Amino acid sequence: MNFSNNVLPLFVSGEESAIAKLSDPTLIKLSIGNPPDEGFPIERIRAISERLLKDDPYSMLSYSTPGGRADLKAAVKTFLNRRFKTVNDDDVITITGGGQQAISLAAQLFCNDGDTILCESPTFMAALDTLRSMSAKLVGVNMEDDGIDLQDLEEKMQMEPKPKMLYIISDFQNPTGICLSEHKRKAICELAYKYDIPVLEDNPYYELRFEGEFIPFVKCFDTHGMVALTSSMSKIVAPGMRVGYVVAPGKMGEGFSLLKGSADLHGSTWAQRVCCELLNEGLEDELVSLRELYGHRGRLMYERLGRYCHPSVKFTKPQGGMFIWVTLPDGCDMPAFVDELMDNKVVVVSGDQFFAENGENSTSFRLSYSLANDEQIDRSCSIIGELTHKYCR
Ligand SMILES: Cc1ncc(COP(=O)(O)O)c(C=O)c1O
């Protein structure tokens, strides 16, 4: 049997083995950026579902409009515009199967087989998988402490053949936790316009800021219709709802909606209705609790890494989201380091998995503090720290 070129890159991805490894209950799982069970608004979801099933069952269970329900789109618009004007009147909102689906729709919208997509280096590994499965050629752009390196970006935007899209994660980036500075957000919009390269801004962690001021989305600075923004309910309600959205200007937005409709008509009507009610009733109490939870865990992990690690180890300081990116000095054997951590029951994701190119040289790994309690954070950081002293001599 022959498999298509779409699936071949996925067979070699580390995702399957990473998931298989996680079945051991004694592991401390710092490898996955999932919300913890206690973060789900279960009672509210149950009450809304019961009420709607009693009062309006057919609208929960019937087909809805391709591209998503109008009431949910209106709720998303209000939610996104409540801090900064993000959704304009000529923007089109498409309800997607999580932000993940918006990534593949964007590649479908802008790219033909073999076209180049620029992305941060490192970036979200499941986005790399999705884009590779669509036969895109991925080119990584260097990262700095405040997000993508603009000089490298501009150089790569001038490549031949011309890149067809830029994929960026603007707040609390996966895997580095880095937040894109405001001046870079503006500059990215200008570069996108100058080189006519559309941008997909992926921002599922935006609401999880626990330090510093909220910065407007990249999309807020776009005056030329070059930026689509995707986010989802996964990190603020529950990932199993599979409700996300992409907001894009004019024809670009229409393109997303048409592609979504042709992919699977629309997402679950039930989940769309529940999310719509949650947004309309308000999610602020839940968001405050989530920010407290992640803020506590993120600060604790950062402090413990500083306490236990070898002084030559560098790690990012999270202002939100779920991730810390740890980097050992050049030449450290990262696969061996990660395997040895696993032998000690601590699971992290080796940095090489997050690079479009040359990942094998990475001496970094990603930590997520979303699922670990205080005792697990302390114990795992102490194990990590001890191992850094062995590897950084
Ligand atoms: C940067 C980024 N984008 C997109 C996703 C996909 O999220 P979902 O499809 O659940 O909205 C994730 C999930 O971890 C992520 O980290």
Write out pLDDT tens, residues 156-168. Answer: 999 999 999 999 9
- Beta partners for 113? none
* DSSP assigned state of 162: P
Residue that has been written with the tokens 């405050």 in this structure? 288
C-beta of residue 32 within 8 angstroms of C-beta of residue 174: no
Q: Residue 211's pLDDT is what?
A: 98
Q: Residue 247's pLDDT is what?
A: 98
Q: How far is 143 from 120, CA to CA, in rounded Å?
A: 6
Q: Residue 15's pLDDT is what?
A: 54
Q: Residue 16's pLDDT is what?
A: 53
Q: What number is the average pLDDT over the span 324-329?
A: 97
Does ligand 1 have an atom closer than 6 angstroms to the CB of 239?
Answer: yes
CATH topology for the 42-281 domain: Aspartate Aminotransferase; domain 2 (3.40.640)
Q: Residue 2's pLDDT is what?
A: 78
Does 208 have pLDDT greater than 90?
yes
Does 271 have pLDDT greater than 60?
yes
C-beta of residue 212 within 8 angstroms of C-beta of residue 177: no
Q: Taking the complete model, does pTM exceed 0.85, yes or no?
A: yes
Q: What is the pLDDT of residues 227-258, one digit of tens each?
A: 999 999 999 999 999 999 999 999 999 999 99
Q: How far is 194 from 208, CA to CA, in rounded Å?
A: 32
What is the residue with the minimal CA distance to atom 16 of ligand 1? 174
Distance from the CA of 100 to the center of ligand 1, in angstroms?
A: 6
Residue from 32, 234, 241, 260 whose mutation best tests the ligand 1 pocket (most atoms within 8 A of CB): 234
- Say which range, 58-67, 177-186, 289-298, has the weakest mean pLDDT: 58-67
Q: What is the pLDDT of residues 45-55, one digit of tens each?
A: 999 999 999 99
- Say which range, 80-84, 110-114, 305-309, has the weakest mean pLDDT: 110-114
The burial of 393, by beta-carbon neighbours within 10 Å (0-12 exposed, 13-18 middle, 19 or more buried), is given as exposed
The fraction of the chain above a pLDDT of 90, given in percent, is: 88
Query: Where do the domains of the chain lie?
Result: 8-40+285-391, 42-281
Does 194 have pLDDT greater than 90?
yes
Q: What is the pLDDT of residues 358-370, one digit of tens each?
A: 888 899 999 999 9
Q: Is the dihedral of CA 31, 35, 38, 42 positive or negative?
A: negative
Binned at pLDDT 50, 70 and 90, residue 207 comes out as very high
Taking Cα atoms as reference points, which of 42, 97, 61, 72 lies closest to residue 242? Answer: 97
Binned at pLDDT 50, 70 and 90, residue 393 comes out as confident
199-202 and 227-232 strand pairing: parallel
Does ligand 1 have an atom closer than 6 angstroms to the CB of 97?
Answer: no
HSE of 294, CA atoms in CB hemisphere, 13 A: 31
Region for 111 from its dihedrals, namely left if φ exceeds 0, alpha if ψ lies in -120 to 50, beta otherwise: beta
Choose the CATH number for 8-40+285-391 among 3.40.50.1100, 3.30.450.20, 3.30.950.10, 3.90.1150.10: 3.90.1150.10
Does 24 have pLDDT greater than 90?
no
Task: Determine the Cα angle at 374 with ends 369 and 375, to 5°.
Answer: 115
Q: What is the pLDDT of residues 60-107, one digit of tens each?
A: 999 999 999 999 999 999 999 999 999 999 999 999 999 999 999 999
Q: Residue 25's pLDDT is what?
A: 86
Binned at pLDDT 50, 70 and 90, residue 5 comes out as confident
Other residues' Cβ atoms within 10 Å of the Cβ of residue 110: 20
Distance from the CA of 221 to the center of ligand 1, in angstroms?
A: 23
C-beta of residue 243 within 8 angstroms of C-beta of residue 273: no
Does ligand 1 have an atom closer than 6 angstroms to the CB of 249?
Answer: no
Distance from the CA of 178 to the center of ligand 1, in angstroms?
A: 15
